[in-house]
Amino acid sequence: MRHVAIVGSGPAGYYTAEAALKQWGDDVRVDIFDCLPVPFGLIRSGVAPDHQSIKGVSRRYEATALTENVRFVGNVLIGRDVSIPELRELYDVVILATGAPNDRKLGLPGEDLPNVFGSASFVGWYNGHPEFAGLDPALSHDTAVIVGNGNVALDVARILAKSQNELHGSDIVAHALTTLNVSRVRRIVILGRRGPHQIAMTPKELGELAHLERACPRVDPADLPDEAEDAALDPGLRKSVGHLRAFSRTGDADCPSDQVTIEFDFFAAPKRIIGTERVEDVEVERTRLENGKAVGTGETYRVPAGIVIACIGYQTSKIPDVPFDAAGGRFANEDGWIAPGLYCVGWARRGPTGTIGTNRPDGYAIIEKVARDIGEGAGKAGRPGFDALAEQRGINYVKFTDWQKIDEAEVANARKGAPREKFVSVERMIEAAGKR
Ligand SMILES: Cc1cc2nc3c(=O)[nH]c(=O)nc-3n(C[C@H](O)[C@H](O)[C@H](O)COP(=O)(O)OP(=O)(O)OC[C@H]3O[C@@H](n4cnc5c(N)ncnc54)[C@H](O)[C@@H]3O)c2cc1C
C-alpha cells in the first residue's frame, strides 16, 4: 500500500490524485489537504464568476474525490496545523500542489497606497475568497488602471465593465455585486510595458470585450505594428492581435458617454503611484522595444485613477522546511522533485503559467516519477496515523461530504438566476458543514 499526501485541492492536486488512482488503483490511499474548507483552488476563487462553463471542470475532480481511496482533508493549513516533516513521517510521499496565491509586487513607489491592489486580492474579493472578502475597494472615481497584459487583466476589466444584467447568471458574490452596482468607473486603462505582439491575452477572452453591453474597447492605431508582421505570429496570438486591430478602428462616435471605455495603453510602464489618502494618479513612462525588451524613453505622463489593480503574476507561499526559489517565486525543485519523498506540481512547481488543462500532464508526470521512487510503499502509517495526530491536536477537519453540505447550502442561498451564493468566511462554511 502507498500512502500519498497531496497538499492543495486545486486542479494540480486533483489531477495528481487522478493519476495516482490510475497508477495504483486499490493499492493507494490519497489524502488531499487544503487550508480552506472548500475544494478546487482557483477554479472557485480565480476563474471569473461569469465563466461558469470553465468552472464546470470541477465535476471531473468530484469523480476522483468520491472514490473510496481518495479523501479531502479541508481546513488544515500545512506548515501551521501540521508540519511538512510530520506529513513526511506519515506518508510515503508528500506532493505540494499549493499553487501561487501571492501577488507579485510592482516594486514601485506608492504601491502600498489605499485602493492599489494585486489581482489575487481583487479577484479573491469578487470571487469570495475568505482572505479577501473584506477588501472593500472603492469604485468611486471614473478611472481604473489595470497593469498587465494577460488574461487576468482582461477578467478584471470585464468584471468592472459589465452591467448588473450581464453578471446576472454568474456566481459573483453579493458584496461585489453591490459595490459594482454603484461603481462610477467609466474608463479602464490597461497598461502594458510592451506592444500588441507581446501580449499574453488569448483570442476568446479578448473577443469577448467586443460583445459586452456597454463596453467600448479601444487601441491606438499607432501602437500596432505593420499588419504584414502579423503573419509571423503563432495562430492564437495572430487572432488576438486581430481583435486589437478591430478595437483600433473604434472611433469616438462609437463610444457614447454612457459606455465604459477599455483603453489598451501599450508601450506604457508604470513608474510611480501618486496620492495622499489613496491613489490619485499613476505616473507612466513611454517605452520602446529593444530586442523584445521594454526600454524607457524618458517621456512620462500621468493617468488620473481612483483604483489600480496589478495583474502581473503570482508567487507560491513559502512553507517551513521546504526550500524556496526566490527568483522563480516557487518551490526549489528539479522537474517537481524537491527532496526524497517530497515533490511539487502545478503552479507550485512551474510558477503561474498555463491553463487549467496544463496541470493534468503535470500531475501524471509527477506520479510517474513518484512511482519510480516509492516502489510498493514503506509501511507508513498513512490515514490512520494522520487521524490520530488530528485527534491529539484537536484538528476537526472538513471531509468531502462536509463540503457537499456547504455546496448544497450555497446553491440553496443563490439569488435568482445565479448558480450559488458563496459563503465568504471560514466560520460560515464550517457552520454550513454542520461542524460547529
Ligand atoms: C484570476 C485567475 C483566473 C484564471 N482563469 C482561468 C481560466 O479561465 N481558464 C484556465 O484554464 N485557467 C485559468 N486560470 C489558471 C488556473 O486557475 C491555474 O492553472 C490552476 O488553478 C493552477 O492549479 P494549482 O492546483 O497549481 O493551484 P491552485 O488552483 O491555486 O490550488 C492550490 C490550492 O492549494 C491550497 N493551499 C495553498 N497553500 C496551502 C497550505 N499551506 N496548506 C493547505 N492548502 C494549501 C489552496 O487553498 C488551493 O486550494 C486562472 C488563474 C487566475 C489566477
For the stretch 87-96, pLDDT in tens is 999 999 999 9
- 160 burial level (CB within 10 Å; 0-12, 13-18, 19+): buried
Q: Is 265 helix (H, G, I), strand (E, B) or coil?
A: strand
Cα–ligand 1 centroid distance for 280 (angstroms): 32
Ligand 1 surroundings by CB, under 6 angstroms: 7-13, 33-36, 41-42, 46-47, 51, 54, 77-79, 97-99, 101, 123, 152, 155, 317, 319, 346-348, 354-356, 359
CA angle 119, 236, 314 (to 5 degrees): 20
pLDDT at 111: 96
Residue whose CA lies nearest to ligand 1 atom number 7: 47
* pTM, entire model: 0.96
Mutate to test the pocket of ligand 1, among 78, 98, 156, 158 (most ligand atoms within 8 A of CB): 98
Buried b (16+ CB within 10 A) or exposed e, 84-111: bebbbebbbbbbbbbbbbbbbebebebb
What confidence tier does 86 reach under pLDDT thresholds 50, 70, 90? Answer: very high
DSSP state of 44: H
Distance 101 CA to ligand 1 centre (A): 7
Residue 416 carries which DSSP code?
A: T
pLDDT at 154 over 80: yes
Give the residue from 210, 314, 201 showing the smallest Cα distance to 254: 210
Query: 284 CA distance to ligand 1 centroid (A)?
Result: 31
pLDDT tens-place string over residues 221-272:
999 999 999 999 999 999 999 999 999 998 888 888 889 999 999 999 999 9
Residue 337's CB: how many other CB atoms inside 10 A? Answer: 16
In this prediction, residue 258 carries a pLDDT of 86
Within 10 angstroms of residue 289's Cβ, the number of other Cβ atoms is 16
* CA 164 – ligand 1 centroid, Å: 27
Closest approach atom of ligand 1 to CA 11 = 25
